[in-house]
Amino acid sequence: MRWFWIDRFDEFVRGRNAVAVKNVSLAEEHMHDHFPGAALMPNSLIVEGMAQTAGLLVADAIEYNRRVVLAKVAGADFHFDAVPGDTIRFQAEILDLKAGGSLTKVVSSVDGRVQGEAELFFAHLEPGEGVPKLFEPEELLKWLDQMHIYDVGRDEAGQPLQRPDW
Amino acid sequence: MPSRDEIFEKVRSALVDALGVDEDEVTPSATMVGDLGAESIDFLDIVFRLEKAFGIKIPRGELFPEHILTSSEFVTNGKVNAAGLAALKAQMPFYDLTKFEQNPSVQNFPNMLTVEDMVRYVQSKVGA
């Protein structure tokens, strides 16, 4: 099982930017007792949603040829807490992309208000020593389909993203 | 060509952003690892920020000589040998290796890099 921390993509422009949403629910176990008496989404888990949004954007940009690992949260600020019932919108942008790593900026917002901002740095690891097989193509495609990447995705020229032929 | 002070200010800003340190901690003599707490992944982050701040390209291995420090030709028993020191000096003239030469253990290399080394490196790039 994969730990899904975004519900779907609403926008996805290859190599540039993406928007994903997550609905916060009281059904999530961490709401029950992480902060006893206060059901709110820990900001560390907001960072996870940011990382999944930006990480998939980066992984797509490098054609899933390397494992994209969150290596560093270069800076993060949060302005208020997300609570059950909120829809968090993650807006991710690639600031810089190289073979070995990428720098991204992600803004989380609720009802149009900026909830958090972070710069996330990803390392791109080559398969080989210490890096197991990158993915099972069928499993990854299923995941990407569930995220609606190929429904909303566009390439740099504005054309619909082609679903890879793995 | 920017002045040395202008370069220092931009390097300082890059290090403040990359390492989450205060401006006054970033002095020319501060060591990257010991004083500022840089870890290996931070050097990749710093490369990104210096490239952007100065509009330069930093090829892999130019700022941090991993190809020399991991080579059996240049490292003997965990220490950089004479050929390795010569290679470091030739390829990285912007680093002050005086202290490192006293105990050229590979492990010591990251510990001896200072903010001033970063400034001199950038000077060598923008002045080229």
Q: Kindly report the CATH number assigned to the domain that includes residue A105.
A: 3.10.129.10
In a domain, A157, yes or no: no
B18, B20, B44: residue with CB nearest A101: B44
Query: Which positions 7-66 of B are in contact with A (Cβ < 8 Å)?
Result: 17-18, 20, 41-42, 44-45, 48, 51-52, 60
Residue A73 has pLDDT above 70, yes or no: yes
In a domain, A163, yes or no: no
Q: How far is CA B17 from CA B2, B62, B114, in A?
A: 21, 21, 17
B45–A103 C-beta distance less than 8 A: yes
> What would the mean pLDDT of A146-160 be, rounded to a whole number?
94
In CATH terms, is domain B4-126 a member of 2.40.50.140?
no
Residue B44 has pLDDT above 60, yes or no: yes
**Segment A98-102 long-range contacts (CB within 8 Å, at least 24 positions apart):** A98/B48, A99/A124, A100/A124, A100/B44, A100/B60, A101/A71, A101/B44, A101/B45, A101/B48, A102/A58, A102/A61, A102/A68
The CA distance from B41 to the nearest CA of chain A, in Å, is 7
Per-residue model confidence as pLDDT tens digits over A20-48: 999 999 998 888 888 888 899 999 999 99
Q: How far apart are CA A86 and CA B36, in angstroms?
A: 39
A100–B60 C-beta distance less than 8 A: yes
List CB contacts (< 8 A) between A100 and chain B: 44, 60
Residue A128 has pLDDT above 80, yes or no: no
> What would the mean pLDDT of B79-90 be, rounded to a whole number?
93
Q: Could you give the 3-state DSSP secondary structure of residue B24?
A: helix
The CA distance from B20 to the nearest CA of chain A, in Å, is 8
The CA distance from A71 to the nearest CA of chain B, in Å, is 7
Question: For position A89, what pLDDT does the model report?
Answer: 98
List CB contacts (< 8 A) between B42 and chain A: 72
- Please answer whether residues A101 and B48 qualify as being in contact, where contact means their C-beta atoms are separated by less than 8 angstroms: yes
β-bridge pairing A153-154 and A8-13: parallel
At residue B66 the predicted structure's pLDDT band, cuts being 50, 70 and 90, is confident
Residue A131 has pLDDT above 80, yes or no: no
The CA distance from A90 to the nearest CA of chain B, in Å, is 22
Q: How far apart are CA B112 and CA B123, in angstroms?
A: 19
Query: Which positions 62-91 of A are in contact with B (Cβ < 8 Å)?
Result: 71-72, 74-75
The residues spanned by each domain of chain B are: 4-126
User: Which domain range does residue A130 map to?
Assistant: 8-152
Which two structure tokens, joined as six digits, stand for B16?
A: 């403040």
Q: Is the interface score ipTM higher than 0.90?
A: no
Which chain A residue is nearest to residue B41, measuring alpha carbons? A71
> Which of A19, A11, A42, A58 has its CA nearest to residue A153?
A11
Which two structure tokens, joined as six digits, stand for B72?
A: 């059996």
A118 touches chain B (CB under 8 A): no
Residue A159 has pLDDT above 90, yes or no: yes
In a domain, A134, yes or no: yes
Q: How far apart are CA B17 and CA A50, in angstroms?
A: 19
List CB contacts (< 8 A) between A74 and chain B: 17-18, 20, 45
Q: Could you write out the DSSP letters of every residue in B63-118?
A: SS-HHHHT-TTTEETTEE-HHHHHHHHHH-TTS--HHHHHS-BGGGHHHH-BHHHH
Q: Which residues of A are catalytic?
A: 34
How many domains, chain A? 1
At residue B86 the predicted structure's pLDDT band, cuts being 50, 70 and 90, is very high
A75–B48 C-beta distance less than 8 A: no
In a domain, A122, yes or no: yes
